[in-house]
Structure 1
Amino acid sequence: MQFDNLCKYLAEKYPDKFATWLLGEPTTRVEVLKTELSLEPIRADSVTFLRTQSQILHLEFQVKVPSGKPMPLRMLNYFVRLYWQYNLPVTQVLIWLQQTTNSAVFESEFRQGLTSHGYQVIRMWEQSPEPLLQDPALLPMAVLAASDNATELLTQVASEVAKIESSVQRQEITASTEILAGLRFNKSLIRNLFREGIMRESVIYQDILEEGRQEGRQEGKKEEALAMVMRPLTRRFGTLDAELQSRLEELSVAQLEDLNEALFDFSEVSDLVNWLDEQRRF
């Protein structure tokens, strides 16, 4: 999703600005960590890891509630792996970008038996735009903030963007702001307030579009590969339970292709479960 990628791009280009906003205190010397953890590959889209002098800051940007594993479990998974690798306090912030009434965006804790894990949740539509309007790097996020008059807020953001002295940064922030504004405003209003030519000529705009195209192609390949294995599995074993289907959906295209060959040796559902368990070891 281009919106997730854009937020990740901004957070990694201006890590000190995002860390200061989210931690509520001036933060400098912020290092962007690689998005793969040593225990196993981690999905790179929408996830940003920052390291300050005293802690790890995990940022997770989401537009829609994802299918598969619920966010509380994912956040616990990231926390354990980050703490295991870096042995530093970990602050996690899950940032929901688009307003929704889905109950999942109000969850801020994983709880199962004796295990509980909490994390910070930010719903952008509830946030004050004032701190975001004070820093050029955060202006794109401001268009998603709370306001009694959304059009007036967008106008104010456009005015602040126009004040950026560096033409390169102004072009970049304009493009970023227009893209995120698309989550909330119609295109005609955005075009009226921003110069469309700047956005279309922007390098970041072209990069985000290309990332979106690549993700779309990859998602299409995955859907095709998933359908290829689901058909014979369903014919052989009937409708799979929700947990098994969820595990299948999390497989990569390469893993699904391997499964497509391996499933001919399966005689019962337990063979599929064992195969999936084996994948977790690599």
Structure 2
Amino acid sequence: MSYETRPQTYDETIRILEKKDYRGIAEFILPSVKEADEISLEHTKLSVPDMREMDFLAKINMNKESFILHIEFETVYKSNAQMMKRMLRYYTYIKWHNDLPIYQVLMVLKKPVNVKNIKGSFESTVQGLEIMKYNYKVIKAYEIDKNEILSQKSIVFYPLRVFMKHDGETEKEHILECLSVVEKIEDTDYYFLTVECLKKIYQTSEYEEFVEEEIYMSSALYKEPYEKGREEGLQEGETKTLARTTIKFLIKKFGIIPDDLKESIQKLDATTLEIIIDNILEYESLDQIKKYIR
């Protein structure tokens, strides 16, 4: 069986876990939250084109204090500068939309290859004037003993145990142990998500033979793509069909058409393709088609 990852699958892992137990995520990341009077999820989508959707955002009411808890889970940590800019931009937009104190946490899942010291703060001073002090909490998942998750019964973090410290175990033993733990959970989505996390750190040959196909395939997440993926898949399928139809009609009308034009047509959106098809009888040359190519 092939365990090829759908592009959106891992990106949605945290959001699926969040739906299952968002309070459990918040309490593990910030233990004092166990005393919270109320925890409510906040909207994580930002109306900024080049910004990723935030992983976790919740409003906490605790001991007469209200604040926002923002958590990012990172597998590919490239540099301190890049991460700080991203976290600061998140902070700015959260603050803009919700004027409450913000507690930010970055959980680094995989140990960075080229960064020896992960930083979570910086200071800015100009001409002796202190402009800014900014910091967020950094949690290194790869330094957490995976058995700590079991002892705390933090089930929502079971799939992420694959990233954690496993002293005294070979990689094979580690993979088998992580899978055996979620195999016992009635909700097979946890097994599915554990396999998705394994794909992030191991080659297929290192884990595939240990996966119980019956359990993996019984998950609702395997049977049905995530909502976002399903919508994108339908849109992609519709667009591909329209592109093939457009090319077929153009060949019938003009004969052979250049390969570069075919490729450009295949990149057009569904609306544009429908316009071309609707007006196919009116075109007198391929140059009239090129006006739709940007």
Fold shared per TM-score above 0.5: yes
Aligned-pair identity in percent equals 23
Q: TM-score scaled to structure 1, two decimals?
A: 0.63
Which of 137, 141, 146 is residue 156 of structure 2 equivalent to? 137
Greater relative contact order structure (CA < 8 Å, 6+ sep): 1
Counterpart check, 1:115 vs 2:137: no
- Per-residue CA deviations over 1:216-241 (Å, capped at 9, x if unaligned) read x99xxxxxxxxxxxxxxxxxxxxxxx
In structure 2, how many angstroms separate the alpha carbons of the residues matched to 1:128 and 1:27?
25
What's the offset of the Cα at 1:156?
2.6
Which of 177, 183, 195 is residue 194 of structure 2 equivalent to? 177
Residue 9 of structure 1 aligns with an amino acid whose one-letter code is I
CA contact (8 A) 2:46 2:53 kept: no
What's the offset of the Cα at 1:94?
1.4
1:74-85 pair list within 5 angstroms: 74-85=86-97
1:159 is matched with 180
In structure 1, how many angstroms separate the alpha carbons of the residues matched to 2:103 and 2:110?
22
2:73 is matched with 61
In structure 1, how many angstroms separate the alpha carbons of the residues matched to 2:184 and 2:155?
9
2:102 is matched with 90
1:22-37 pair list within 5 angstroms: 22-25=29-32, 26=34, 29-37=38-46
4+ residue runs over 6 A deviation: none
Q: TM-score scaled to structure 2, two decimals?
A: 0.61
1:13 is matched with 20
1:182 partner SS: helix
In structure 1, how many angstroms separate the alpha carbons of the residues matched to 2:207 and 2:90?
36
Q: 1:111 to 1:74 in 2, by over 3 A?
A: farther
In structure 1, how many angstroms separate the alpha carbons of the residues matched to 2:211 and 2:70?
32
Q: Which has the higher helix share?
A: 1
- Per-residue CA deviations over 1:201-257 (Å, capped at 9, x if unaligned) read 433245359739959x99xxxxxxxxxxxxxxxxxxxxxxxxxxxxxxxxxxxxxxx
Residue 140 of structure 2 aligns with an amino acid whose one-letter code is R
What's the offset of the Cα at 1:58?
0.7
Please give the root-mean-square deviation of Cα atoms over the aligned residues, in Å: 3.4
1:55 partner SS: strand
Aligned residues between the structures: 212
2:113 partner SS: coil
1:160-239 pair list within 5 angstroms: 160-164=181-185, 166=186, 169=187, 171-205=188-222, 206-207=224-225, 211=229, 214=232
What's the offset of the Cα at 1:110?
3.6
Segments of 5+ residues of structure 2 without an aligned counterpart are: 1-7, 126-130, 237-294
Q: 1:158 to 1:209 in 2, by over 3 A?
A: farther
Residue 173 of structure 1 aligns with an amino acid whose one-letter code is Y
1:56 partner SS: strand
- Per-residue CA deviations over 1:144-165 (Å, capped at 9, x if unaligned) read 101122433333322321322x
Q: 1:45 to 1:78 in 2, by over 3 A?
A: closer
